[in-house]
Structure 1
Amino acid sequence: MTLSEHGWNAIMTMATLATHMGAEALRLKDIRAQVKVSRPYMERTLAKLRQAGLVEGIRGTGGGYYLSKPAHQITLAEIVTAAESPEPHAQWLDMQPTTVEQLVTQEIWREMDNKLHGLLASVTLGSLLRIEQRRPSYKPGLTARLIAKMFPPRLPETGMAY
């Protein structure tokens, strides 16, 4: 696993979406303004994140992008894996070493790959941004509030109102 500019921009894109959770879907131009990349680059990044099931998009005038699941359920490893191309050092992990140098190089890459993946897998987007885990709060409408006032909850054993 590598962490290049692609992975970094994907993390920043997801962080932008996470900080706007609960609001409307975020438009492409608003995400680009935060991450500061070109439109084609952002479109490719969002397409990769959408293919990985990390974001969803809404087409049309009121459209935009939003996280497909809560920020506490998305790890940085998922984001980087979705955004990055296959590792340039993958050749070292798949080959059969024939020299001591190749064996050492392979072991170094394997160890670095495991450590980086373990670190990124242990950090969620929510914990990185210190977003509190919240359950969606239900706010009753005016009619529901009026009905609740008309019929207050009753104590089960006495039938009296609270």
Structure 2
Amino acid sequence: MACRTVGRALLTALVVLLAGCGPGEPAGPFPPRPADIDTATVDLCTALTAEQQDELGVDPGESWAEQHSDGPTRICGWSNFDDGYNYTVQTLPTPAAAAVGAPGSTVQPVEGYGSVRVTDHEESLPLCELYLDISDSAALRVQVQATARDENGRHVSSEQVCSRATTVSSQVLQNLRDAPA
């Protein structure tokens, strides 16, 4: 009886050990990345092409830097004052997995990358943020906010804002992944 218990314990330990060593296992809740994106060198204002900016009705992006609680961050923002949508792409010195578990967050894939979707101000000025898993130590945050009301005087739904955020995130990932290093 004691031999069976010891044997089961050893077998269980071996299974646990081998399960953690499998190839291609994603860290955390995300799939394996198609490629890492180096946030230290990327020009965030090239995250959207001129054609994509035209489609969104925005002028070339405006860049700036700030100090985030975890380190320096760079930002590029675009605004469409006609339809009331604002777009921001920001480097974050923390991995996207840090956003998992935020109130109302959901994990979803975008262009093969993991992302965490977080919404805020759903009843006033809807904001949708996607934290994109682009490396082990950093993330990109794409934010889309609707500041205007629709033709009936109501705030735009957070689903509409998040739909735009997902589309813009897809474009950003394609453009930055394919950018020359």
TM-score, structure 1 as length reference: 0.26
Higher relative helix content = 1
Q: Which has the larger radius of gyration?
A: 1
Which gives a bigger RCO, structure 1 or 2 (Cα 8 Å, sep 6+)? 1
TM-score by length of 2: 0.24
Bigger share in strand: 2
